[in-house]
Structure formats: C-alpha cells, structure tokens
Structure 1
Amino acid sequence: MADKDIITKKSQEDSGNCIFINAETIRSLLSYSALIQHFRNSLPLTCASVQSPLRQNYTIDPSSSLLLMPSWSTSPSLRYIGIKIVTTFAQNSARNLPGVNASYLLFDSSTGRTLATMDGSELTHWRTACVSALAAHFLVREGAEVLVMIGAGSLAPYLIRAHLFAIPSLKKVIIWNRSPQKAQDLVKKLQEEDTSDVHFEHGNCLEEIVALGDVVSCATSSRSPLVKGSVLKAGAHLDLVGSFSPSMRECDDEAIRRGRVFVDCEAALVESGELVGAFERGIILHADIAGRLLDMVQGKKSGRNSSDEITVFKSVGSAVVDILAAQLVYETYLHGNL
C-alpha cells in the first residue's frame, strides 16, 4: 500500500469521517492465517475485558429473524464498541438470495464516535470459518484427509478454505446440499480457484458421505437432524455452525452422545438446538461439555485425547470474535498491515 494511501486513511480517522468497508475490501484485507492467528493471540488477552450480552433474537415470522449482537471493550488494546445487526430469511434460498444479511458498526469506546461500517455478512463469514478452523486445530485427528461439507450456501466456501488452511493433510472435499445443483456449482467454483492437489466432488447420499468424513462441517438452517451419529466414523470431528436457536438442529442426539463436545461460548448452551434438546432429553448434562474454544487456546482444556475419539464443536457466534475481526479489518485498512 502506498504511503499516500495510508496518509489518506489516517486522515479519514482523524477527521471524524465514518469509513465504509465493503465485502470486496474485507476480502482484500483478510487472510485465513492472519485472522486465525489474531483470534489465537487476542482471545486470551481481551476476552475478560469485552462485555457481550447474549444476542437479542426477534422473530419476524416463522422463518425470519432479526438479531442484534453488541459488545464493548475496556481494554486499551481494544478501544472499540461494536454491534452487528443481522437478518435471517430462510426462504431466500428459494429466491436465489443470501439467507443471512448483516451490517457491522464500529465505534471508538473513548468518545463514542462512529469509526466504520462494514459488510457484516462478509465479516461473519470470515470470523465463523476461522473460529471453526481454530477449533479444528485442537480437535481434528492427525492425518485427516476427507472433509465433508454439508450445505452449499454462502458460508460453505469460507469454511472449506479455512479448514484446508488449518488442516494441511486434507486431500478431498465432498459437498452435499439439498439442492444437488448448488453442490455441483460450488464444486466447480472451488475447482476453478484452487491451485492445490485437493480433489473436490459432490455427493447425493448424505449418510454415505458423512461416513467418509474425517471432518464433517455443517452450515445449514435445518430444523431437523441431518447428521446421524451412528454413521460418524471413529476419530471424526463434527463442526456445527448453522443453528442459533433451540428450534434449529443439524445433528441427532446420537452424535452428541458419542462425541466429546466443545462450544465456542456459553451462549451455545442456551441457543443451540442440538445442545438444548440433548440437555432436555437427558442425553448429556451441562457438566459433560468439555470446554470452550478459549479454554483450548489457553491450554486449560485438552482438545482431542485419542485418534479414535469423536469430537464435536458447536458454535453459535459471539460478539467477542465479531469485534476482534472488526478490529483487524479496521486497523489493517488504516495502517496497511497486510
């Protein structure tokens, strides 16, 4: 980045102008390695100083929601207030439109001044994928070769790319979607952009595909279980990112019963349909949850214990990782630290 560009951006900050950072710019500023490392370095240092109330979830109609995710920091190294505003419209899939749309607002915590607005959907895709990839670093067995991606929506390619970065041993990606054409289209897109030796393909029989996965990642809005725990192979890692309310569910009770379960944050215990239902039916207890992502990063909890253990990571998204991702985007934009 040229010096004059940095000066211009610094001038924007000093003048009080609010910066708009669109999706294309976010993609140019972030990398999976940088964001994963930023989370790994920053979560232990800033988590205690960030206030992040449980998300406010408002039902617009049976298939649509409005979510508000605020957070603010008292740390000198994270001098921000942030809020993400999200809409989820499940019926948009049939309209060939994104099901999730979002905006992120970033403020100066010392003055309350608006610093930037960002494409919240792009920011969410990056932070969600990198949170899953960071968890995978601790939970995926050594030598994992097959990644199964359930869902071919807008988040799927980010999850695939992040896992490919975090797990270099992966050799094959199999994609499944309710609409086979969407899975085929995503396979074609990834084949065109990928320069590695990874093989991409789509599959039709979900149970057969799940049985092949060393890593099974789910990003759907399903309200009925897709992954059957009985077909998960020994040593598999199940990554669940789709559900964010008790009415949503991507796997059955058997997957939860067989797995050693980790969560991204405490909110997953009350928002995730997979876990809320399992608690209610007595499949597992709250005490059976093995730990949070932060616990693994800090070394307080061990990740995978054996090569044949089944691990489960359930994320619902947190305002803490949102504000950390927004910090990296904003400061990289200002100072050109690519």
Structure 2
Amino acid sequence: MDVLWLDQSDVQSLLDMQSAIEAVEKGFRQHGLKKVQMPAKSYLYFEKHNGDLRTMPVYMEEEDIAGVKIVNVHPDNHEKGLPTVMAVIVLNSTQTGAPLAIMDGTFVTDMRTGAAGGVAAKYLARKDSHVIGMVGVGEQARTQLLALSRVMDIQEVKLACRNMSHCDHFEKDMSHLISCDFLKKNNIKDVCDCDILVTTTPVREPVVRSEWVREGTHINAIGADAKGKEELDPQLLLRSKVIVDDMVQASHSGEVNVPLSKGLITEKDIYCELGEIVAGIHPGRESDDEITIFDSTGLAVQDIVTANLIYQKALEQGIGQDIRMF
C-alpha cells in the first residue's frame, strides 16, 4: 500500500489564501451544524524544554474525510534554527482506516489560522473596516493580515513594535502582498485605535487594556492557544460579544481560559461558536457599536478540510511522492 507524501514545498504550491478561507469557512459551517466528530485537542507538556505536543483528530461526516494533526509549540526553537510551530498531518481512509497522505502541516497551520481570522472578520467586523492594528509581527501575524486583505479593503496597518527591526521586516514582506500604509508604533495602546485588532503573542498576562479599545472594534485573539495564556484584559471580554471557535477547547486553552478559571467571567458571557454564526444559527455583528472578539484556539476541522483540499489537488496535478507503507 502506497501513501502520498507531500513536503512543505508541495503543500505551498497547492494552497493559496483564498482557497484556504473557502475551505475553513466550510469547515466552520459543518462544525456549527454539529456534523463533525472532533475531540478537544490533547496536550503533552515538556516543561523542562519549554514546549508542548498536541494531537488533533477529526471526522467530517458529510464530506466523509478524517485525519489527525500532530503539532508542537516550542517558543525557544528560534535559537536552534527551527520554527516555533511544526506539524504533520495524516489523512486516513474512512473505509479502511489506512493512511492516504502524510503532509507538512506547518504551512497548513499558518494558513488555516490566518483563514479563520479572515472568516471571523467577514462575519463580525464592521463593513467599513479599513484600519488594522497588530500586536505581534510573527508568522501568524503575516497570515492573519493576508487573510484580512482577502475579505476587506485594508488602507492602513498599525504595528506595535518593541523591536523596530522586526516591524521593518514585517512591512517589507507584507508590502509586496498588500497595498496599504504601514505605521509603526512604540506602544500597544496606539495600535488599539483601529477597526480590527489582531493579537498574536504567546503572553500569559494581558497586554491589551479594556480602556484602549473603542466601541465598534473587532478583535481576532489568536495568541492564547494553551492553558494559562491570555492577551486581553478580562474587563474587555465583559464589554464585548465573545465568539469562540469551540466551547470546550476554548474553555481550557483559549483566550477565555484564564478568566473562566478565576471566575472573572462565566460561560454565559460567551455568545456562541463561530461555526454557529457561519451556519446561520446565530447572527454575527448586530450593530456598529458592538465590540466583537473571536477567540481562536485552532480546530482540527480547519486542518483536515484544508489538508483534504491539498490532497485532492495533488492527485489531480500529480504532485507528491508515493511511499510504500506495507
């Protein structure tokens, strides 16, 4: 039995942001309709190495596709010349359970996370949103901004920078992809004066204060993806319509996990899951004055629906390498 092997260059040649957004939106819709089997991601914590390993399985019932992603987060990897996040995705036959494809999941993770932010902004941001504020300028910030550029007309991007050289690199890379003005700010407060705020930091103490965020802002909170992480002032959550990607997963590893554990908010303060909005079960933004927050933890359904798209394109185009498994 042969398995299709797709390395990162193969995956990059087969996946663009517009396709990722369309796939992820479909995945969220199926999740909202309760047509997926998706246990919350499981974690192994390597405390002496400052890292963790996560497994993320899912079965999409209508599409009849299944698979699992194995992904790490090691913040110190840059010192070793490695990405902070690395991943492998396995697609499995639902008829036999046999592996169909094994592919790089690092690029998929970056793209599907950005795509989720794009889908969230499509349903939750004001239609006249043109100014983006960014807290964090790493790889996740790049795909977040790229996805936003596919769902709205971006005129200005404000960057919060402690290290100006990082912001310079970000502007250089993204200005080739998006035609807009880039403004570099010395503090986070200044970038919060925006239409859409994107936070992509690994912090464990809030860096965005409630009083800095004006009414009508939409926030994509991306950085909190494990127990103990939080980027936003809990008082901001209480002022806002909070939408999570998955209630169970967000409760133990999303932006809401710390304030929930401390009793600062309750599950009643969480409006719904994004998939329920995409599926039309609940309305998204209902007024220009609302502050909306999308709490993104990253779902296996995003990975597998995107990986299946890549797999189908690879078969059509004859890309990848067949490897004998048995």
Q: TM-score, normalised by structure 1?
A: 0.87
Deviation of 1:283 (Å): 3.4
Indicate the residue corresponding to 1:220 in structure 2.
201
Indicate the residue corresponding to 1:173 in structure 2.
157
Deviation of 1:72 (Å): 2.6
> AA paired with 1:314?
D
Q: Is the 8 A contact 1:50 1:72 kept in 2?
A: yes
> AA paired with 1:174?
K
Q: How does 1:13-32 map to 2 (within 5 A)?
A: 16-32=1-17
Are residues 1:105 and 2:90 paired?
A: yes
Please give the alpha-carbon distance, in whole angstroms, between the structure 2 residues aligned to 1:175 and 1:93. Answer: 22
- Deviations along 1:239-260, whole A, 9 cap, x unmatched? 1111122211111112211111
Change (3 A) 1:320 1:307: same
Alignment partner of 2:34: what SS? Answer: helix
Q: Which has the higher contact order (CA 8 A, sep 6+)?
A: 2
Change (3 A) 1:92 1:298: same
Alignment partner of 1:267: what SS? Answer: helix
Q: How does 1:161-310 map to 2 (within 5 A)?
A: 161-168=146-153, 170-191=154-175, 193-194=176-177, 197-210=179-192, 212-272=193-253, 274-310=255-291
Please give the alpha-carbon distance, in whole angstroms, between the structure 2 residues aligned to 1:274 and 1:74. Answer: 29
Are residues 1:143 and 2:131 paired?
A: no
Please give the alpha-carbon distance, in whole angstroms, between the structure 2 residues aligned to 1:96 and 1:226. Answer: 28
Deviation of 1:55 (Å): 1.0
Change (3 A) 1:187 1:133: same
Task: Name which of 56, 63, 84 aligns with 1:69.
Answer: 56
Indicate the residue corresponding to 1:57 in structure 2.
43
Q: Is the 8 A contact 1:245 1:271 kept in 2?
A: yes
Please give the alpha-carbon distance, in whole angstroms, between the structure 1 residues aligned to 2:138 and 2:250. Answer: 25
Alignment partner of 2:100: what SS? Answer: strand
Please give the alpha-carbon distance, in whole angstroms, between the structure 2 residues aligned to 1:245 and 1:278. Answer: 13
Deviation of 1:266 (Å): 1.8
Can you give the 5+ residue segments of structure 1 that lack an aligned partner in the other structure? 1-15
Change (3 A) 1:247 1:91: same
- Identity across matched positions, percent: 28
Alignment partner of 2:139: what SS? Answer: coil
Alignment partner of 1:317: what SS? Answer: coil
> AA paired with 2:314?
Y
* Alignment coverage as a number of residue pairs: 316
Please give the alpha-carbon distance, in whole angstroms, between the structure 1 residues aligned to 2:106 and 2:163. Answer: 22
Q: Is the 8 A contact 2:254 2:297 kept in 1?
A: no
Can you give the 5+ residue segments of structure 2 that lack an aligned partner in the other structure? 319-326
Change (3 A) 1:108 1:304: same
CA RMSD of aligned residues (A): 2.1
Task: Name which of 112, 118, 121 aligns with 2:103.
Answer: 118
Deviation of 1:45 (Å): 4.5
Alignment partner of 1:269: what SS? Answer: helix
Please give the alpha-carbon distance, in whole angstroms, between the structure 2 residues aligned to 1:286 and 1:104. Answer: 32
